[in-house]
Structure 1
Amino acid sequence: MGSDLNSSVHIVLFPFMSKGHTIPMLQIARLLLLRRGITITIFTTHANSPFIRQSLSDTQPNVSVIELDFPTNIPELPPGIESTDQFPSMSLFIPFANATKLMQPDFEKALNNLSISGGVNCIISDGFLFWTQKSAEKFSIPRLVFYGMNNYVMTLCRILGRNRSHLKLGLDEPFTVPGFPSVKLTLNDFESPMNDSNPQGPHFEFIVETGIATSKSQGLVVNSFYELEPAFLDYWNREFVPKAWCVGPFGLVEKTKYDQAAEKSNPKPDWIKWLDQKSVEGRSVLYVAFGSQAEITKEQLREMAAGLERSEVSFLWVVRSKGSEGLEELEEKVKGRGLVVREWVDQVEILGHESVKGFMSHCGWNSALEGICTAVPILAWPMMAEQHLNARMVAEELGVGLRILGSNGSVRGFVGAEIVEKMVRELMEGEEGEKVSKKVKEVGEAARKAMEEGGSSWRTLDQLIDETCRNTDPTHLLP
């Protein structure tokens, strides 16, 4: 793309209020800024603004942040919650997501002001902020959607949304997906209402509303790369709308000199010093993390702890401080060999450490990609949302990880300590672990090539900006 086009491009980003959605959106901002001359405005709420401003503190003056009031006095929501990371329970998700719609008038007022001061060429908003599609339409601004999912998940869900014969089967009865006979799933790979024969209620209505808004948008920005899942991307773009654009993995966006200098000047966290010591000792470490929102029962937590203790493998386990009170006994037993961390960590820094040779993960797509990009094989233990499908992709489609199953053989269900112990040892020391370790190195290298100048994701991002912005008049005003 020529600099003349870039110099006039203004893109609005509106991430959903959740760290797992916001972080990749901020990485999109950095990707766009590599194309000189693009300016970005990010919309968020007051409580989420400090995190965003700090994360992009080195990008001035090309990024600005506009703060909107988060709705108050929502009956189902405790006061003061402006991010899903603060939820006492994920049952609050639908009321929270629906409450964001009350921000629409303020969003449109700010959009109008931006139009007066120079215009907006494109909006990239989270799929959960479905109402932004109508705002974009009102201003005749192209809207691109970000969901944080891969093409594998999006394509399979859309196919099965049309062909519903599988809904007659039992929860653990395997079935193949039309168009992809090698893909075998069960109803237990899906959450309600996706596995209900007669879906209804607020959650289903939310899914329908987001789907309609997405279909009316101009494209999907996908945190993936073509070589990772070509059959699924090609199928989507042949059969469905809007067009999906793979411009990732976002996490491989080049760090600025500012970032690198800041890293060197900051003192090492205790857990990095601990990993350094393991490296000196010649010990391989399993990194264990299930994200900030997984709700794990005390009984299951105890079995996890017992399995890790018995495995005799060195491990670094990052847990939510809430609910981790029962791990003090484990910490005492594995002192020196295992470390439990209850603080926020830089996950990519940990995965990139030379001592880390395995990753027990809930398979959120951000985490799965981070494992792939750092060439760390994954022990997939999904908990919620589309994580079960991500786990299938990681273990069966890509071959970059192993899968933990419930003690009853189901993809869901209680996992005993003996299974945890067995699978940890297999990943870290077994033949299957060696096989997936070799494979993840190959896939990680392909990811890096996709993001390099001239790679598939680099070219796709150029095309996306070109097609979305070339004929867009940025001076949009309300009638």
Structure 2
Amino acid sequence: MEKKVCIAMVPCPGHGHLIPFVEFAKRFLLHNNNNGVFFHVTILVPTQGSPSSSTIAILNALPSNMDFTFLPSITMDQLHNPPTHPIPRMKLIVQLSLPSLRKALTSLTSRTTLVALVSHFFSIDSLLLAQEFNIFSCVLYSAGATSLCFSLSFPMLDKESDNNSNDEFLDLTKPVKVSGCSVSFQVKDLPDLIHFPRSSEVYKSYLDVCKALSLVDVVILNSFNSLEGDTIGSIQKEKTAPFVCPIGPIIQTESGNEANKLECVRWLENQPPKSVLYICFGSGGTISHEQLNEIAHGLELSGHRFLWVLRPPSKISESGYLIVTKNDDPLEYLPSGFLNRTKGQGLVVPSWAPQIEILAHGSTGAFLSHCGWSSAMESIIHGVPIIALPLFAEQRMNATLFTDLLKVALRPEQGDADENGIVTRDQVVKVIKRIMESDEGLEVRKRTRELSDAAFLAIKHNGSSYMALSSLAQKWRLKSIA
């Protein structure tokens, strides 16, 4: 019996990092299993502790030409001084999983024709095994081309900072022009990992993965030419850069979890068209208690309808990823009497809501978002303009791109935050009214609809993303018969 042609994938630990891998695999298999070579995808999942119920639900719903294996769990309490920040922590989990990953790949090669290993950016250490097995090394870069451009440039920018005596990255007073990017950035808007001391574990971990990125065979990019064509083109012209394959947008087509879905959809059905502001900070983003209060008061004062996905506050903005948080009722952190006063105005749901269905609903008029790339792609493809309130990682870069270049988002104006970086209730009201009521908001909505149309064209037959995916499949087909 002829062996299946297999693609192995290694996401990062964490529910939010798994979704782009599953959605990419579904798109790839649907698109490419009718050309004489039948691909199969196996997802090899590094773990720390027991997988979450949402992770298990996603994996149990995979189609028949996909399967998964949980790699043996890495127990952090057995290690001396395990990292607390999610980035070095995820990187360490993957490194410690390499022996079990090697065994899994050996098993796959005995049963299939293994042609490629696709890793997450922060699982890039797994690609050390790609050369050992003589297969393509690929990174599924779940952010955009602008962020990729910075990641590829970062090792050189780090070298330029070697003369800094204060252990800081670059001159904080000057804008940074990243080679290949169509927009300049303030240092404060670059990925927050660079703001750690250069001697820190976090900074070194990010620098390590950026150095490794230039050595991979293919970077699979969740973007498309009409969104970031100039930046994609500039990367592709670089002789030292990996082959870049823009196949986006990759988004979920429906929310898998049924919790709160019926309640949210029923509530939206009773609201006027384009009248609801949706608020969510991704699968792991959190805000401080003070910022939560300011948003709550701002929503109430704005008078606009809202649907808010609320999780318990934290001073660590990425606390939903890998860090165990208290099982508190998030509603207890709202200002006293808020739910009663806004009963006819808004709906607050704890922890999770069906984001795809909410963004696709005709009553949703705007999205107050942390500007995580996956959420932004979902908002753009559904034609929903964004209020940008970035929290961590590359989200400030994304916010700059969306507001300054692509014009699909509004952001609280400079000086809108207080001395502690909190966006105040008055400024929350102001930006809500700008996007929901003003001519400026209408222009942002129009531009978002234009990019939504362009996104659908990109993934249709013979669209730019369709053709990029075909090119990738051809590389993997030729490997299977080599």
Could you say which TM-score interval applies, normalised by the shorter chain?
Answer: 0.7 to 0.9
> Which residue of 2 is the match for residue 141 of structure 1?
135
- Per-residue CA shift, 1:54-103, capped at 9, x if unaligned? 33556543112112111114457999xxxxxxxxx973442343132111
Which whole-Å CA distance do the structure 2 matches of 1:343 and 1:272 have between them?
A: 16
Shift of 1:267: 9.9
Shift of 1:15: 1.2
* 1:41-440 paired onto structure 2 within 5 Å: 41-45=42-46, 47-48=50-51, 51=54, 54-55=57-58, 57=60, 59-74=62-77, 91-159=85-153, 161-163=155-157, 168-171=170-173, 173-178=174-179, 183-195=183-195, 199-239=198-238, 240-251=240-251, 269-279=262-272, 284-321=275-312, 324=330, 325-327=332-334, 329-405=337-413, 407=415, 413-440=421-448
Which whole-Å CA distance do the structure 2 matches of 1:132 and 1:302 have between them?
A: 42
Shift of 1:215: 2.3
Identify unmatched segments of 5+ residues in structure 2.
Answer: 162-168, 315-329
- Per-residue CA shift, 1:422-468, capped at 9, x if unaligned? 00011011111100000000000000010111111111101011123
Identify unmatched segments of 5+ residues in structure 1.
Answer: 80-88, 475-479
Which whole-Å CA distance do the structure 2 matches of 1:59 and 1:283 have between them?
A: 34
Cα 1:349–1:312, aligned 2, differ >3 Å: closer, same or farther?
same
**Partner secondary structure for residue 11 of structure 1:** strand
Amino acid at match of 1:271: C
**Partner secondary structure for residue 306 of structure 2:** strand
> Which residue of 2 is the match for residue 15 of structure 1?
11
Which whole-Å CA distance do the structure 1 matches of 2:112 and 2:474 have between them?
A: 19
Which whole-Å CA distance do the structure 1 matches of 2:202 and 2:378 have between them?
A: 29
> Which residue of 1 is the match for residue 166 of structure 2?
none
Shift of 1:203: 1.2
| Backbone CA RMSD of aligned residues | 3.1
Task: Check the 8 A contact 1:128/1:147 in 2, yes or no.
Answer: no
Which whole-Å CA distance do the structure 1 matches of 2:410 and 2:419 have between them?
A: 13
Shift of 1:33: 1.6
Task: Check the 8 A contact 1:376/1:440 in 2, yes or no.
Answer: yes
Task: Check the 8 A contact 1:41/1:63 in 2, yes or no.
Answer: yes
Amino acid at match of 1:154: L
- Per-residue CA shift, 1:172-207, capped at 9, x if unaligned? x54544555x623111112455246x7222112212
**Partner secondary structure for residue 250 of structure 1:** coil
Shift of 1:39: 0.9
> Which residue of 2 is the match for residue 477 of structure 1?
none
Which whole-Å CA distance do the structure 2 matches of 1:320 and 1:386 have between them?
A: 22
Cα 1:319–1:72, aligned 2, differ >3 Å: closer, same or farther?
same
Which whole-Å CA distance do the structure 2 matches of 1:311 and 1:337 have between them?
A: 10
Task: Check the 8 A contact 2:11/2:46 in 1, yes or no.
Answer: no
Amino acid at match of 1:194: I
Deviates more, 1:216-225 or 1:93-102: 93-102
Cα 1:440–1:207, aligned 2, differ >3 Å: closer, same or farther?
same
Which whole-Å CA distance do the structure 2 matches of 1:398 and 1:390 have between them?
A: 10
Which whole-Å CA distance do the structure 1 matches of 2:115 and 2:177 have between them?
A: 42
> Which residue of 1 is the match for residue 321 of structure 2?
none
Q: Give aligned-pair identity as a percent.
A: 29
Which whole-Å CA distance do the structure 2 matches of 1:112 and 1:399 have between them?
A: 48
Which whole-Å CA distance do the structure 2 matches of 1:27 and 1:383 have between them?
A: 25
Cα 1:267–1:252, aligned 2, differ >3 Å: closer, same or farther?
closer
Shift of 1:302: 0.8
**Partner secondary structure for residue 41 of structure 1:** strand
Cα 1:226–1:266, aligned 2, differ >3 Å: closer, same or farther?
same
- Per-residue CA shift, 1:327-355, capped at 9, x if unaligned? 16321111111111104222111000000
**Partner secondary structure for residue 185 of structure 1:** coil
- Per-residue CA shift, 1:112-131, capped at 9, x if unaligned? 11111223111111121122
Task: Check the 8 A contact 2:198/2:204 in 1, yes or no.
Answer: no
Cα 1:42–1:160, aligned 2, differ >3 Å: closer, same or farther?
closer
Task: Check the 8 A contact 2:152/2:211 in 1, yes or no.
Answer: no
Task: Check the 8 A contact 2:7/2:117 in 1, yes or no.
Answer: yes
Find the partner of 1:465 among 459, 473, 477. 473
Question: How many residues are matched?
Answer: 448
Task: Check the 8 A contact 1:49/1:67 in 2, yes or no.
Answer: no
Task: Check the 8 A contact 2:149/2:178 in 1, yes or no.
Answer: no
Shift of 1:409: 6.3
Amino acid at match of 2:445: S
Shift of 1:211: 2.4
**Partner secondary structure for residue 13 of structure 2:** coil
> Which residue of 2 is the match for residue 83 of structure 1?
none
Task: Check the 8 A contact 1:405/1:412 in 2, yes or no.
Answer: no
Shift of 1:13: 1.4
Amino acid at match of 2:404: E
